[in-house]
Structure formats: C-alpha cells, structure tokens
Amino acid sequence: MELYNLKKNEQRVSFSQAVKLGLGDNQGLFFPTQVPALTDIDALLKQDFVSRSVTILDAWLGDELGSDNVETMVRKAFNFPLAVTAVNSQTYALELTHGPTLAFKDFGARFMAQCLNLLCKDERATILTATSGDTGAAVAHAFYGLDNIKVAVLYPKGKISLLQEKLFCTLGGNIHTFSVEGSFDDCQQLVKDSFDDLEFKQEIRLNSANSINISRLLAQICYYFEAVAQVPADKRDNLVISVPSGNFGDLTAGLLAKAMGLPVKRFMAATNENDTVPRYLATGEWQPQPTISTRANAMDVSAPNNWPRIEELMKVQGWDKSLVSGIKVTESEMCQGLKDLHAQGYLCEPHGAIAAFALKNTLMADETGIFLCTAHPAKFQESVEDILNIKLELPQPLADVADKAILSKEISADFSELKQSILAI
Ligand SMILES: *Cc1c(COP(=O)(O)O)cnc(C)c1O
C-alpha cells in the first residue's frame, strides 16, 4: 500500500512507514494513492464480521504485510461483538459499544496496536498518550500484554470520572498510568515536550497512538460493511448513514467503505454545537470557532483534523457534494433525540442521540437510516440518568473494575519529572 502526504504530495510512504510516522512532513496527513475496489459485494455481505474484515483489510495490506499476518491481526483485534438493532421499521442503530472500553475507539486502537506490534517486531517502543478519558482507555486496553511495547498514559488528576479511571488505571503489566497535577492541556504539553526532546524520543523509541493514524481508519471501514450486512436485503437500496462526528475519522472510514464498493446512498455528518463542518458545507468557508463544551464531549472539536482526507476523497472519487450533508444538533435537540429513542424502547447516550436526531429530521420515505452508537450509555451515566430520569446498571467491563485498585503514579506537570518516571519503567 502506498500513501502520499496531502501537504507535500511528493512524499510517498508505505503503510508501515505511515503507521510509525503518524503524520508526514509539514504535519500533512497520509492518504492512499489508490482505494482497492472489492468485487462481489453481495457475497462479501453474507460472510461473518471477522472473515469479511480479513478480506477488506487484506485488500489494503495483504501485499505489504502478508495475508497471514493480516488475518492474525484482525482476529486478535476484533475479538469482541458488535450489533445492529432495529429502532423502528426505517431506522437501525449500529452499536460499536461492546468492546473492552465500551466505545467505538476500541476497533481502531486495537488494530493499530496489532500493526505496531508486528512492525516493531523485536524492537522496543514506548507509546505516550494524553487523554481526557476515552482514548487513553482504548489505547491502554489495546496494547495491554504486548510485551515489547510500553504504554504511558497521562491524564489530569481528578478531572476524569472514577469509573473512567478504573477502566484503564487498574491494568498493570506494560500499561503505566500517570495522574498529572494539572489540566488536559498540561498533559498534552508534556507529550509535546517529550516529542521535542529528540534524545529522549530516540532512547525510548517514542510513538503516539494518535487518532490520525491511518491504521485506525482502515480498521473502522469494516464495521460499515457489517452495518449494511445486517440490514434486511430489501431495505438496502437507499441507505443513509449518520455519523456523530468530532475529528471526522469515523466519517472518513465510512466514505472509504463506499469507495471500496459499499452501497450507501448518502452520509450525514452530525455534529454538536461545534459545527465547523456543517457551516463549511453550507457556506464554503472554513471558520473554526472557540470550542464549546457539550454533553457529547468526545465531539467537542472545532478544528477537525481529518477533514482534508474527506475533501481529497470526494475529489478523487468525483463524488457530488450532496453525498455528505452536515447537520448541527443543539444540546436541547440532543436531549429530545435521546428521549425519542427511549420512548421507542432504545437506550442511547448523547453522541449516538445526536446522530439519531440528525437522521430522523431528514430521512425520506423511501430511505433506510443507520446511525452509529459510539459509546455505551453507562460511559455517560450522569447525562443519561439526568436527561431520561432513570437509573442505569453498570455493564460488565465497568462492574469488573469497580473494586480494583488504581495503580497510577501521581506526578506534577513537569517535564523532567515525567522523563525520570518514564525512564524508570
Ligand atoms: C471520538 C468519539 C467520537 C468522534 O469520532 P471522530 O472519529 O473523531 O469523528 C464520537 N463519539 C464518541 C463516543 C467518541 O469517543
């Protein structure tokens, strides 16, 4: 697989290089020079999720990594269930929330971990990541037990929920968690400082498990195929998929699935009040505004960094702009969406409810809609209980860790202290 840098087209890299580098020169995103087309989509849709995912990822990576390796990686990464549930006769929920950390980020993070494990082979590597909750948990679980890779996760002390903390700070082994006296921005700064210290970077073979990594996007293509496969065949003619979007990695993966041949009529880019993309689609002007805090906080992104990939894909595929419509969903509309779903017997959470609301308002009579559920309701327990006036039960992965001890080390937001601590692990 070959990729080029969107900011410096002459920089060409292999998949292996792109995974290890993350970003290209001038902070440019890597983009595939060719999208492999799949033949006989109907037969593919009849396969089970894992077998089909092997076929999909082999089309991208088989030549470079070897088909046997691709198969092993997919089987190890995708070892948890996903589901499609009918909400009503015209609308389906794609639940990506049954992984070890109860969020769709498990798919991308687990596949990326398998890629790095294969590509680093006997070299040691250190993954350093800052988190405000979800990403750190997905990354920690994804790399847990991969012995040549050490993981250090930084999070702001006291600023994530106790259950969130228990989900990834109780693992031990190769997972090292640091509770930082400071804010999420301080944690991000410590990660930047680490990458700027070239000697340190080299010594510990530093890598990030950043969400712009191409391996994560390729993994996410697979569940779009599963969504379509589980919708009854007589409802697949005019499919509309609604994606709750923040950094727009998820939507990029959906569009890549279409480029590979998945029959989707159109996509909806549903955002919260951080609506840079819906405004851009309406006016043609890219004007990020200061980030607004909402209850769908994983989507509180005002400068989505995957958007250039979507623009490029639309261009090279020659797709009409109408393929993607942007919709902003306000906080009160999200609450309404969550209540509507609950009234139909479906329990959701703020991110999924945004996608569902966007869909409901624009779905035409001859269309079938699918919205993505990106997090388990229990991960947003407070909001869900408050909006719906109900009590939630803890799902298994959270119940399992509720009594475990937190193993984090407390540090100040000071680079030399972090450096000492990482060198000691
Ligand atoms: C990360 C995240 C999103 C946004 O996904 P993008 O790929 O960044 O657009 C939506 N919902 C949840 C729960 C997330 O964790």
At residue 159 the predicted structure's pLDDT band, cuts being 50, 70 and 90, is confident
Higher pLDDT, 399 or 217: 217
The fold for domain 83-104+214-393 equals Rossmann fold (3.40.50)
Residue 246 C-alpha to ligand 1 middle, in angstroms?
A: 5
Question: Where do runs of H (alpha helix) occur along 347-423?
Answer: 350-360, 381-388, 396-401, 415-423
Residue 44 to residues 81, 229, 256, 265, Cα–Cα distance (Å): 19, 9, 16, 19
For the stretch 46-82, pLDDT in tens is 999 999 999 999 999 999 999 999 999 999 999 999 9
State the average pLDDT over residues 189-207: 90
SS3 call for 157:
coil
Supply the pLDDT for residue 114: 95
Which string of DSSP letters, residue by residue, matches 43-83? HHHHS-HHHHHHHHHHHHHHHHH-HHHHHHHHHHHT-S--E
SS3 call for 374:
coil
For the stretch 219-228, pLDDT in tens is 999 999 999 9
Q: How far apart are CA 102 and CA 95, in angstroms?
A: 10
Nearest to 243 by CA among 216, 215, 266, 261: 266
Residue 22 C-alpha to ligand 1 middle, in angstroms?
A: 19
State the average pLDDT over residues 251-275: 98
Q: What percent of the chain has pLDDT over 90?
A: 80
Pocket lined around ligand 1, Cβ cut-off 6 Å: 103, 105, 134, 244-250, 298-299, 351, 374-375
At residue 147 the predicted structure's pLDDT band, cuts being 50, 70 and 90, is confident
Q: Edge-to-edge, what's the strand order for the sheet holding 30-32? A: 8-14, 2-5, 30-32
Q: In the chain, where are the structural domains located?
A: 83-104+214-393
Nearest to 374 by CA among 153, 220, 194: 220
Nearest CA to ligand 1 atom 1: 298
Q: What percent of the chain has pLDDT over 70?
A: 100
Supply the pLDDT for residue 121: 79
Which string of DSSP letters, residue by residue, matches 272-330? -S--HHHHHHHHS-----PPPP-SSGGG--SS-TTHHHHHHHHHHHT--GGGEEEEE--
Nearest CA to ligand 1 atom 8: 247
Structure tokens at 197: 């210290």
Count of Cβ atoms closer than 10 Å to residue 11 Cβ:
17
Which among 374, 380, 381, 384 is the best mutation to test ligand 1's pocket, defined by most ligand atoms within 8 Å of the CB?
374
Q: How far apart are CA 383 and CA 377, in angstroms?
A: 9
Supply the pLDDT for residue 361: 87
Supply the pLDDT for residue 186: 87
Q: How far apart are CA 371 and CA 224, in angstroms?
A: 11
Which among 102, 299, 371 is the best mutation to test ligand 1's pocket, defined by most ligand atoms within 8 Å of the CB?
299
At residue 270 the predicted structure's pLDDT band, cuts being 50, 70 and 90, is very high
Nearest CA to ligand 1 atom 11: 374
Supply the pLDDT for residue 276: 97
Match 């077998």 to its residue by tokens: 51
Indicate the average pLDDT of the chain. Answer: 94
Tell me: pLDDT of 95 over 90. Answer: yes
Tell me: pLDDT of 398 over 90. Answer: no
Nearest CA to ligand 1 atom 2: 298
Match 């860790």 to its residue by tokens: 401
For the stretch 164-187, pLDDT in tens is 899 999 999 999 999 999 888 789
Helices (H) and strands (E) in the chain, counts: 18, 14
Supply the pLDDT for residue 123: 82
Tell me: pLDDT of 133 over 80. Answer: no
Q: How far apart are CA 264 and CA 367, in angstroms?
A: 11
Residue 372 C-alpha to ligand 1 middle, in angstroms?
A: 10
Residue 135 C-alpha to ligand 1 middle, in angstroms?
A: 9
Structure tokens at 270: 């549903």
Tell me: pLDDT of 269 over 80. Answer: yes
State the average pLDDT over residues 290-312: 91
Atom of ligand 1 nearest to the CA of 246: 9
Residue 12 C-alpha to ligand 1 middle, in angstroms?
A: 28
Tell me: pLDDT of 188 over 90. Answer: no
CA 316, 109, 166: angle at the middle one, nearest 5? 150
Tell me: pLDDT of 335 over 90. Answer: yes
Atom of ligand 1 nearest to the CA of 252: 7
Which string of DSSP letters, residue by residue, matches 95-120? E---STTSBTHHHHHHHHHHHHHHHH
Which among 160, 213, 214, 351 is the best mutation to test ligand 1's pocket, defined by most ligand atoms within 8 Å of the CB?
351
Sort 10 into a burial class: Cβ within 10 Å, 0-12 / 13-18 / 19+.
exposed
Residue 216 C-alpha to ligand 1 middle, in angstroms?
A: 12
Tell me: pLDDT of 282 over 90. Answer: yes
Atom of ligand 1 nearest to the CA of 351: 11
